[in-house]
Amino acid sequence: MTSWKLTLPCTRDEAEAIDFEGAELLGIDPAPVLLTSETVPDDPLAWQLEAYFEAKPGKEEIAAVRALVPSAVKAKEVIEQIPDEDWVTLSQQGIAPVHAGRFYIHTSTNRGDVPPGARTFQIEASRAFGTGTHETTAGCLRTLDAMRVRGERVDNLIDIGTGTGLLAFAAMHLWPRAYATASDIDPVSVEVTAENAGINGVTLGVMQGQLALAAAAGLEHPLLIGRAPYDLVIANVLAGPLIELAPSISAVLAEGGTLILAGLLETQAERVAGAYRRHGLRLAGKTPMGDWPTLRLRKRTRYGWDRTTRPGPDGQGLAPGFGSW
């Protein structure tokens, strides 16, 4: 038995926008398995899309895959025959385990030697982003670990754009009694997060120490709004969405709370931080990771009669009807 692999170049934006179960592939039976990856580290224009087929793809199949990555319109596709039983392993051989702070991230094929005392997470490179191999995810893990080392307390956290769920899992390990929420605009990412939660012993639910999940664009979901305010918000997406979400993310962050932002280049850091300064946040720290810094911001505390809060999962606030977000 053999399988076939079709490879096309793409950009990071295209890779992150791919609907792995979208209409473009509905006419192909069985549907191909899609994987995306960097070809040049830290270059958002140098990614690739790999589509795995049970039979050699024809013109219609090639056209359907091409439709997912418009930047490859003039690129010549690469089609190769591979052993059927080996393609998943082959696709993950180039992924090395990641050791960031107290966390050690690996796939099922590259566990390697776990550092003493490390908290391990098994995250496969599959249908969603956030395996820990990119600087943005590793930077968030180090930032979270440093917060815990400083003794910071977190009672209610949310991971927006969760991808694989990794950052939510890590935060829950650091603050095991916190209420935790994870969301993503892509329902497939929410499914992947639920699968990874089972693999890594994370309990799903809405109580303390459990992870609540929602598929939502930004914070447009009753669950996400109803569980605010959050004293820790993690958002590892891209600079454009981070700027666009600044008003709503700032609104659901509790006064004195911490916001961790990633997915932005060093050249975009000031513009992203500036969007949040306009909503009462200040830059409290930066974790450099090559060209991909992780920003840590704090929301200023207001005092006086006009202070307004919103209910969290542990009780009522001063003005439970405030805001629409």
pLDDT tens digits, one per residue of 276-301:
999 999 999 999 888 889 999 999 88
Determine if residue 184 is labeled as part of a ligand binding site.
Answer: yes
With bands split at pLDDT 50, 70 and 90, how would you rate the model's confidence at 129? low
Determine if residue 186 is labeled as part of a ligand binding site.
Answer: no
Determine if residue 314 is labeled as part of a ligand binding site.
Answer: no
**Do 73 and 176 belong to one domain?**
no
**Do 166 and 26 belong to one domain?**
no
Asked whether residue 243 is assigned to any structural domain, the reply reads: yes
pTM score, whole prediction: 0.68
Q: In whole angstroms, what is the distance from residue 6 CA to residue 258 CA? A: 43
Domain CATH number, residue 164:
3.40.50.150
With bands split at pLDDT 50, 70 and 90, how would you rate the model's confidence at 54? confident
- Kindly give the pairing relationship between strand 47-53 and strand 33-38: antiparallel
**Do 217 and 262 belong to one domain?**
yes
With bands split at pLDDT 50, 70 and 90, how would you rate the model's confidence at 319? very low
Asked whether residue 168 is assigned to any structural domain, the reply reads: yes
248 lies in which domain range? 127-299
pLDDT tens digits, one per residue of 187-197:
988 999 999 99
Structure tokens at 308: 């307004």
What share of the chain has pLDDT > 90, as a percent? 59
Using an 8 Å Cβ cutoff, are 98 and 105 in contact? yes
With bands split at pLDDT 50, 70 and 90, how would you rate the model's confidence at 83? low
With bands split at pLDDT 50, 70 and 90, how would you rate the model's confidence at 70? very high
Cα R_g (the chain), whole angstroms:
21
Across 25-29, 274-278, 317-321, least confident range: 317-321
Determine if residue 39 is labeled as part of a ligand binding site.
Answer: no
Asked if the model's pLDDT at residue 239 lies above 50, the reply is yes
Q: Which residues pair with 119 in a beta bridge?
A: 103
